[in-house]
Amino acid sequence: MSSKQFNKKRSAPDGSSSSAGGKSKFSKTNNGKPQPSKSFANKGNENAGKYQNKNKSNNNNNGKSRSAPIREKEEDVKRRKKPITAGGGEENVDDDEDISMDDDDEGSFSEEEDEDEDEEMGDKALERNEGEGEGQEKKPKLTKSEKLALHAAQPHRTTLLPSHPLLHDTLLPLWETARRADLSKDQRKKAINELYNAVKGRINEVSRGHKGGRVLQTIVKFGGKEERTGVAMELEPRWKDMMESKYSKFLMSKLIRYVPSIRPLLIPKLTPTLLTLLNHSNAVTPLSDFYDLYATSKERKLLVRGFYPRELKIFDGGKQGIEVKGLEASLEDLIGDESKGRDRILDGVEKTVLDVFNATQKQALAQSIFHRLVLEYVTCIFKFLDKETADKKLHELLAAGAESFPEIVHTKDGSAVVRELIVRCNAKDRKTILQPLRKHVEALCKDGDAQMVLFTAFDCVDDTKLMGKAFVSDVVSLATNLAFDKQGRRVLLYLLTPTSTKHFMPQTIQSLAASATHARELGTSKKDTEVRRKELLSYASEGLLKAVEEKGDAMVRDPGAGLVVQEVLIYAKGDKSGAISTLSQALSIPYPDPAPVDPNPDQSTAHPLVLSHSIRTYKTLLSGGHFNNTTKTVEITDEELSPKFASAIWEAITDESVGGDDNVSRICKGNAPFVMVELIEALRKSGEISKVKKVLGKKGVREEVEKSVRKGAGLLAEKIAEL
């Protein structure tokens, strides 16, 4: 369930503000198009009418409307990532979600939302009625208008189900209470218990309808272990069929999520037809949720084994103990005569992989369970086959899958596959791999796994001119957008300082270094690492400095984008005057007096030297580089940065339009004494200390600074005393 839908406030059957007088003219449909809303009374159903009258009597008894309910605790729902070709990020399931569970519809359902089995039963009943009284003679075909008229005269297909009286007379009224958002823990437990006892024994029958599915989902979501397990085990014969059903797949997803005990029992039912399920438009959702979100490591391995050829299952079927082995470990265990079957096993895996890449439907291609299979296959062909055979299979994989690589790089295993191919391929094949990815540069940058492919390309491709014009230029053109994105800014930082543990996890740096080392050992990369990085930085520097010049004022106010500003001015090569001017002009506003003490000021309107992250940025740039804790010194890469930046800052804060000398005094008493300390030191080194002495050497300035309780005020007072 999407977070947007989960947070909806649901009205109770009694006193809903949306149903009395102010009911919307239209209700939702699957396509988002408005349609006239239908209540149970309008369906011509007697039981539904009784149910609606019962609700009306409840409204009259209560006599007042209930305020919007508040959930006791909102749970964090895991989401699968979607391919970068679809924008990347968390899977947006709004279009695929069974939204009627949380709609404020007070139990009304659109007729189009019935289960497939219901429709089939209703159509068969219609055919029987058409043939009544005909004897042995075949009745002529009806026109479309005649069929519609005859269908309208029939009872609605849901009324023909045996579960219909139970559902409408008993379950739906109980469900309206059980699903309410404002119930206490005890009330919820009692309501779910009543609902479960009413449906127990007929769960299989009720689950075939759309409305019954809603009831069972509520029991599974809010029920205890007994209720959840009872629902799951009564439905065991239909687990696989439920995954393929248009509506029951949602109930199956909830069973997988809330009833862990059924997962080992479900795997043997899925693995024989695993690829078929992945290509099924309905089954792919619960299956992917199972593998991506809820399965243990052992369960994932068991699911992936559904792709393996029968030969491997025969060879190691009796050897599987507590530990479940993957493809590589299973092939290693084959000895003697069995080892001759490795080629046949890898050929069988290859056929499965290529079939998915060549398929017209791309549903299976985007799933991480398939990406795991491809990674195992690529690893094994280079480990167990000779070089010539492995290269042949590699080129077959590239021919079939290169255009589809954007569909797989959004997962950890899919990203590892493309990275391994970049490391092993020659220059021509690398172009084949990278060309399709260039169409999705922004999505690549904003995805944590996909951007690892970019980093590997930056470290392994010797043709830096090609990379500079193709990828680096595309990335830099998006710098003003990427700088504000949590993941996107890491690509900019990698171009500037690729080995910084401040921006990258040590494991990430080690993994990328291992890939670059492997490429040099294979001979596919020959250029020196430092030379390659300097050349890429030269292509990126101008655009990054331009981005700071254009958006520096906004970037320095953002905690993450401010880090990009620091690294750009410290490590980029070229004319930095425009960027320095923008950052200094950001301070050309009067400093507040007294300085605010609010720990969370408005970032868009507050003075930059009030924001803690902006203060750190200006302090770092005034010092000229980052402080090294090992050497206890500041590492300076650009000797001209500190004096130029200090001079521009001093002119900005002493301008008459912002208060001149008084503005400087207010800053000294404010939240940024360390910035003023670095500013004084930088101007001292550049020989401009005289103009600082003229302002801060005035009588009373040092005394006012000493009275400040801000951290660093004492050090600033000492610096002023030395003037």
Secondary structure of 350-369 in the HEC alphabet?
HHHHHHHHHCCCCCHHHCHH
- Per-residue pLDDT at 237 exceeds 70: yes
Residue bearing tokens 């970049």: 422
The answer, yes or no, to whether the previous bond of 601 is cis (omega within 30 of 0) is no
* H or E, element range at 49: helix 46-62
- What pLDDT band is residue 62 in, cutting at 50, 70 and 90? very low
Q: pLDDT of 107-132, one tens digit each?
A: 334 333 444 444 444 444 445 554 44
Cα–Cα dist 279/406, whole Å? 18
- What pLDDT band is residue 157 in, cutting at 50, 70 and 90? low
High-pLDDT (> 90) share of the chain, % = 57
- For the beta carbon of residue 336, count every other beta carbon within 10 angstroms: 6
Report the range of poorest mean pLDDT among 318-322, 523-527, 615-619, 664-668: 318-322
- For the beta carbon of residue 687, count every other beta carbon within 10 angstroms: 8
Closest CA to 586 of 563, 570, 604: 604
The pLDDT assigned to 408 comes to 94
The pLDDT assigned to 138 comes to 66
Cα–Cα dist 178/640, whole Å? 69
Residues 150/126, Cβ–Cβ less than 8 Å: yes
Mean pLDDT throughout 461-483? 94
Report the range of poorest mean pLDDT among 26-40, 328-342, 424-438, 486-500: 26-40
Cα–Cα dist 160/155, whole Å? 8
Cα–Cα dist 315/312, whole Å? 5
More confident residue, 99 or 453: 453
Calculated CA dihedral for residues 486, 488, 494, 499, nearest 10 degrees: 30
The pLDDT assigned to 7 comes to 42
- Per-residue pLDDT at 37 exceeds 70: no
Tell me if the domain spanning 160-295 has CATH number 3.90.226.10. Answer: no
586: helix, coil or strand? coil
- Taken in order 469, 470, 471, 475, the sign of the CA dihedral is positive
Cα–Cα dist 646/685, whole Å? 10
- Per-residue pLDDT at 93 exceeds 60: no
Tokens of 632: 């206890």
Residue-by-residue DSSP string for 163-227: THHHIIIIIHHHHHHHT-TT--HHHHHHHHHHHHHHHTT-HHHHTTSHHHHHHHHHHHHHS-HHH
The reported pTM is 0.80
Q: Which residues contact 474 (CB under 8 A, 6 or more apart)?
A: 438, 441
Mean pLDDT throughout 305-315? 83
Residue-by-residue DSSP string for 373-418: HHHHHHHHHHHHS-HHHHHHHHHHHHHHHGGGGGGTTTSHHHHHHH
Cα–Cα dist 568/565, whole Å? 5
* H or E, element range at 35: strand 35-36
Domain residue ranges in the chain: 160-295, 587-722
User: Beta strands of 555-643 (E only): which ranges?
Assistant: 625-628, 633-636
Cα–Cα dist 616/559, whole Å? 10
The pLDDT assigned to 336 comes to 62
The pLDDT assigned to 75 comes to 61
